[in-house]
Amino acid sequence: MKAEFLIILLLPLFLLAGCSEKDDPPAELPDGCISLKDLETKHDYYLPFAIVNDSNLVSRVFLNGKEINLATGCFVEFKETGFYEIVVIYTDRQKPADTFLFTTKTPERENSEWGIREWIPAPFVPVLIGTENIEVFYPRHFSGDIGLPFIFFIRESGALREIWCEGKCLETGDDFNIKMGTGSVYVASSSIDGNVDFRIGGRTLTVTLSEAAGTSIELTGIIDSPVEIPANSVVRVTGNLEIAGGGSLVVHEGVLIIIGEGIDINVDGPVIFAGTPDNPVYLTSDSKESYWGGFISRSSEGTIRAEYTIFSRSGFHDSEGYNWGHSGRQALFYTENSTLDLYQCFITDHVGQVFYPQNSTLLLDNILVQRVQTGGQINNSQLYLSNSVFTDFPDDKYVYADEDNDALYLNATDAVIENTLFMFAKDDGLDSGMEEGGTITVTNCRFEACFHEGAALSSAGTVEKEHIFTDCMFINCGQGLELGFSSQNHTVTADKCLFLYNGTGIRYGDNYEWSEVNGKMSVKNSFSLYNDRDVWNMVRKTWSPKLQNLTFENTRISKPSSQYPELETYKE
């Protein structure tokens, strides 16, 4: 490959150059140092890594398009993962220049990242809140030694406020974060006695709840007729429960459902949870340290509908029969040929995934999914998701993990996603993969602080798949929007989108050496600004771009691109 056609990467050069006298090599070279003459092209090198010039035949050396001092005895040390190009020009002008493409990597991330900088999202700067309204949802009563969730929304004129601040439960000392106006904390009921005080963004808020009195209702076995649970009851599920065909379960406001460890609820008849804003229904395990199973529906009549309901501590099973999909663990909601309808529901602190539907319909509006292994895998289904928040997979710590912690994974699913936040995923905010097709439209959504991609899109074979992103923001992610391994019949359109402060803003190509990348990606009326790379087109299988498969219209970037010189740079 000739140098003039190679990529000049705009990634900051996280390296240190050191040099001794020309004929006197340094007494001690950095760890992992190799000779310039031993450098291989299209090769991956582990960090620590450095290159030393032990030859006097080199005239000039260019690293990512910038000339560096690599005379005899000099070395260049690489301290970050990334994709690099070195062009070596020799003193013998008859000898053609050599070009070397290589990456640096670490064992921890080599299976999930290639050629991109090791990404840890930048932390937020907390602020104090002013006159905004603090909305809180929580169970109004409890029983025994269980965990209690408190869910907070910061609103202004009814809309979610884009604010980041710190929170603390003053009774227990538990700290938590409010991110983009949303956050929650899970505390032990043993620490609660009546009023509970919180400090959020400098303001103090007090809520009141009480320990439930009276006899609890026990549920186990088969429900084969209509059953209604009166408001404010305490229900204990002590064994696997089945709502059989011909049976149904209606749960009224304020009901507390405590479920034994590992217990499943099989649903072949309709189930309704009818909480209210001031008195939600709450389902949890029988101990703050344990987990129950989940709902399992394998019938079209096994529908689940919930309003103002809090679900916590599911996902107990990871054994054969429960190792579903990418997660390999039980879901809170497993459905086949059924309907799941959630409105104003709050799903927090689960050890497994949340959704695993097959050939089902999901209607999800105004839900919160937080601190779970993954939001789950939607299979061959119809998804309608709006006005929701998916955050913290599995937590919001700034510690890397390579465990498929996606906010949501779409497999062969048609989806309409609107006005939703995907944040703090250790893997991807939205992952759409596998070989099957699907039409997915994403409108007015925000992808933030995801360690890998805000949205990672892929397909294979010859399947047809279409992704349309409109009015979306990708911020502080390893890569904002990526079209990876893909069919030639896979199209991606990003219109009126903003890519800001990511490692890579817009990416065409994949990190897998086996993958074919043949899809088409079009970006228009958009801005990709202040990223390490605003645009990057690179396919690992060939170590080369497919420039014609990524096109732009009326799109601006923050610094010139050698791959797409026609793109205008943004001037403030």
Average pLDDT over residues 486-505: 98
Average pLDDT over residues 326-352: 97
**Are 327 and 258 in a shared domain?**
yes
The yes-or-no verdict on residue 452 having pLDDT over 80 is: yes
Average pLDDT over residues 357-374: 98
User: What percentage of the chain exceeds 90 in pLDDT?
Assistant: 89
CATH number for the domain harbouring residue 196: 2.60.40.2410
Average pLDDT taken over every residue of the chain: 93
**Are 233 and 202 in a shared domain?**
no
Q: Could you tell me if residue 274 is inside a domain?
A: yes
Q: Answer yes or no: are the C-beta atoms of 523 and 555 closer than 8 Å.
A: yes
Whole-number pLDDT of residue 69: 93
Whole-number pLDDT of residue 4: 31
Whole-number pLDDT of residue 467: 98
Q: Could you tell me if residue 45 is inside a domain?
A: yes
For tokens 């070279």, name the residue: 29
The yes-or-no verdict on residue 192 having pLDDT over 60 is: yes
Q: Answer yes or no: are the C-beta atoms of 566 and 10 closer than 8 Å.
A: no
State how many domains the chain has.
4
**Are 351 and 470 in a shared domain?**
no
Q: What tens digit of pLDDT does each residue of 130-143 get?
A: 999 999 999 999 99
**Are 454 and 556 in a shared domain?**
yes
Query: Who contacts 53 (Cβ-Cβ below 8 Å, separation ≥6)?
Result: 35, 36, 61, 70, 71, 72, 73, 74, 75
**Are 442 and 541 in a shared domain?**
yes
**Are 195 and 281 in a shared domain?**
no
CATH number for the domain harbouring residue 343: 2.160.20
Q: Could you tell me if residue 39 is inside a domain?
A: yes
pTM value is 0.94
Whole-number pLDDT of residue 27: 53
Average pLDDT over residues 507-535: 96
**Are 496 and 538 in a shared domain?**
yes
Q: Could you tell me if residue 518 is inside a domain?
A: yes
- Taking only Cα atoms into account, the Rg of the chain, rounded to an integer number of angstroms, comes to 27
Average pLDDT over residues 413-429: 98
Q: Is the dihedral of CA 372, 374, 378, 382 positive or negative?
A: positive
Average pLDDT over residues 199-205: 97
Whole-number pLDDT of residue 251: 98
**Are 355 and 330 in a shared domain?**
yes
The yes-or-no verdict on residue 128 having pLDDT over 80 is: yes
> pLDDT tier at 3 (50, 70, 90 boundaries)?
very low
Whole-number pLDDT of residue 103: 97
Q: What tens digit of pLDDT does each residue of 303-324 get?
A: 999 999 999 999 999 999 999 9
Give CA–CA dist 233/217, Å, rounded.
Answer: 7
Give the tokens for residue 451: 């360690």
**Are 236 and 255 in a shared domain?**
yes
Structural domain range at position 303: 217-373
**HSE-up of residue 145 (Cα within 13 Å, Cβ side):** 4
Whole-number pLDDT of residue 29: 80
> pLDDT tier at 12 (50, 70, 90 boundaries)?
very low
Whole-number pLDDT of residue 26: 53
The yes-or-no verdict on residue 7 having pLDDT over 50 is: no
Give CA–CA dist 482/470, Å, rounded.
Answer: 15
Average pLDDT over residues 227-254: 98
3-state secondary structure of 566: coil
Give CA–CA dist 82/9, Å, rounded.
Answer: 10
Angstrom CA distances, 376 to 407, 416, 462, 503, stand at 7, 16, 26, 26
Q: Could you tell me if residue 48 is inside a domain?
A: yes
Whole-number pLDDT of residue 5: 31
Q: What tens digit of pLDDT does each residue of 88-110 get?
A: 999 998 999 999 999 999 998 88
Q: Could you tell me if residue 309 is inside a domain?
A: yes
Average pLDDT over residues 214-221: 95
Q: Which amino acid is at 211?
A: E
Closest CA to 381 of 410, 360, 355: 360
